Amino acid sequence: MLQRFVRGTNPLIGGAEMQVLVVEDDARIAEALTEALQRFGHEVDWVASGAEALRAVPDAQFVLLDLGLPDLDGQEVCRRVRETSAVPIIAVTARSEELDRILVLQAGADDYMVKPYSMRELMARMEAVCRRTRSSPPRAQARRKRDACSVRSPWICALDRLLCTVSSFASHDVSSTCWQHCSPTRGPYAIEKI
C-alpha cells in the first residue's frame, strides 16, 4: 500500500525538493528514511513491494530502491522501471557483494549504497545523480563529447592516441572518442599512425 508523506517545514538543502519514492520492505528503515528525507525538504511515497513500486514510479522524481523485496527482486524492479522511465534510481541495500552492485548498475540503477549509510552521503549522492541525469539528455552529452574532440588540435589527439595505446585505455570518455575521431581516416585532423 502506497503511503504518502508531505515534506517537512524546514528544508535543509539548497537543491530542489523532489517527490521521492522509497521502496523498502522493512517498516523501521522506511520510517526513518522517510522522516530524514522530509527534514531535507522532500515529499516521500513509501511502498513495501516491487509490484507497488512499479505502480508508483510514474509519480516519482527519484527512487530509493531496496533490493530485498518480498515479491520481486529489486534488480528486476530496476530493470522494469528502466523499460519505461528515466527516473533516477539509487539502490539502497544491505547487499555488499561486488556482483550485486554490478548487476544492479547494469540493470539501470544510477548509484548504489550499502546499508548502513549516513544521510548526508545519501543526500550528496542524490544531488550528484540529479546533476548528471537532469543536466542534459544523453544524446546531447554524447554530442558534446564528440564536438569537444573535433575541435582539438592534432597534437592533442596524437597525445591522446599515444596514451590510449600505452595504457590500453578502453573506456568511452573523451580520449577514446578522440581516438576514433582523430584516426588516420576520420575526423577534422587526419593524422598518421604514431
Domain-located, residue 123: yes
Q: Domain range for residue 98?
A: 20-135
Domain-located, residue 158: no
Domain-located, residue 156: no
Q: How far apart are CA 115 and CA 109, in angstroms?
A: 16
pTM over 0.75: no
Q: Which among 43, 30, 95, 88 has a CA at the least distance from the CA of 68?
A: 95
Q: Give the total number of structural domains in the chain.
A: 1
Domain-located, residue 119: yes
pLDDT tens digit sequence for 138-187:
444 444 344 444 444 454 555 555 554 444 334 444 433 444 444 444 44
**Of 2 and 45, more confident:** 45
Domain-located, residue 159: no
- Residue 192's pLDDT is 41
- Residue 9 CB contacts under 8 Å (≥ 6 apart), including other chains: none
Buried b (16+ CB within 10 A) or exposed e, 31-40: eebbebbbbb
Q: Half-sphere exposure of residue 38, counting CA atoms within 13 Å on the CB side? A: 15
- Cell numbers of 106, please? 547494469
pLDDT tens digit sequence for 56-83:
999 999 999 999 999 999 999 999 999 9
CATH of the domain at 44: 3.40.50.2300
What string of DSSP letters covers 30-54? HHHHHHHHHHTT-EEEEESSHHHHH
